[in-house]
Chain A
Amino acid sequence: MNVKVRFFARFRELLGTELIIEVAEQTTLPDLVKQITQKNIEGHQAIFDEYGHFREYVIVMRNARRVDLADAGENIVADGDDIAVFPPVAGG
């Protein structure tokens, strides 16, 4: 099955704007994103902490709905999902 993943701001520079990813059944949200970041250490470290959890300020949206990062590991992606991952920007 295929899932669309979009990145914003710095994540976009590191990992690309929009990717269509083929994933296995029962893939969780963090595993989906790790499938993209596994070959990109900088991108991986920007999004995940040393335990492999989403960094606490990262915002993850699934089909336009906010994902609670505390439960992200139990969130199984489905065919056709639209996932958005972005960091808040801070400058002013």
Chain B
Amino acid sequence: MFSERERERYKRQMMLFGDEGQERLKKAHIFIAGAGGLGSPVSLYLAVAGIGTLTIVDRDVVDQSNLNRQILHNDRDIGRKKTESAEEKLHAINPDIQIRAIDTTIEEKNASGLVGKADGIVDAMDNYPTRYLLNDIAIKKKIPLFHGAISGFYGQATTVIPGKTACLACIFPKAPPKEVFPVVGVTPGIIGMVQATEVLKYLLKSGELLTNRLFIWDGMQAHAEEICMERNPRCTACGSMSEIPENK
């Protein structure tokens, strides 16, 4: 059931997917790993779309040098926990949803508990070791992983449906070396929107997901392309999975 305020807030998108679709979003719980460059646009747009519960995890405090891209935060937040800043902004932009902001490092020992009963994981991290960990949790819980990554004007995204489509370790069996990556805010904006759109489509059971495809964006050329990927039967993360989970 929706309040009058919710009906008014979501009026224009309920023209697209009706009460039933909006109800699906309201009942959903999405886990967002990171409140930085990708986590900012992803969480803002999932919040305004009316995802009922958003869990957002980050361990950092806001730094001046974050502000060219991490649009959840502003100058007044410098020195504050990103999770505190995120909770405040997301609550302000949509008071009709639940925000769980958790200030911690995602590690092997806590990852499964942090994700809990979420319906999907958004990868808004900046490193591959944590991404592989999130991939493992998605496989274990049989929930989708919405991957995104950026560097400079380049970005990539893909959606993983465990047991059914190529997982992150099938696509990237080895992590690239760690680097301080250059970035301009528009790139995580674009890639974050691809991820958020994937989350909505998955929850709405509508459209074609970005599965078995790696979306590659080159902002300088204004050119996007996709590369077909497939499951690796010898994948160390998902190779032993044979069953196909039902789409939500």
Residues of A within 8 A of B (CB): 8-10, 12, 17, 56-57, 59, 61, 64-66, 84, 86-92
Q: Given A8-B216, A12-B218, are A90 and B227 neighbors across the interface (CB < 8 Å)?
A: no
Say how far B31's CB is from chain A's closest CB, in angstroms: 15
Is there an interface contact between A92 and B216, defined as CB atoms closer than 8 Å? Answer: no
Is there an interface contact between B127 and A84, defined as CB atoms closer than 8 Å? Answer: no
Cα separation A59 to B158 with both chains bound (whole Å)? 15
Cα separation A10 to B150 with both chains bound (whole Å)? 11
Q: 11 extra interchain contacts, Cβ-Cβ under 8 A, other than A66-B229, A92-B36, A92-B125?
A: A8-B154, A8-B218, A56-B173, A57-B175, A88-B128, A89-B149, A91-B188, A92-B37, A92-B38, A92-B148, A92-B150
Is there an interface contact between B38 and A9, defined as CB atoms closer than 8 Å? Answer: no
Residue B162 is within 8 A (CB to CB) of chain A in the complex:
no
Nearest opposing residue in chain A for B168, CB measure: A88
Residue B179 is within 8 A (CB to CB) of chain A in the complex:
yes
Is there an interface contact between B229 and A90, defined as CB atoms closer than 8 Å? Answer: no
- Contact residues in B for A17 (Cβ distance below 8 Å): 221
Nearest opposing residue in chain A for B124, CB measure: A92
Residue B183 is within 8 A (CB to CB) of chain A in the complex:
yes
Is there an interface contact between A91 and B227, defined as CB atoms closer than 8 Å? Answer: no
Say how far B4's CB is from chain A's closest CB, in angstroms: 38
- Contact residues in A for B36 (Cβ distance below 8 Å): 92
- Contact residues in A for B150 (Cβ distance below 8 Å): 89, 91-92
Cα separation A84 to B216 with both chains bound (whole Å)? 12
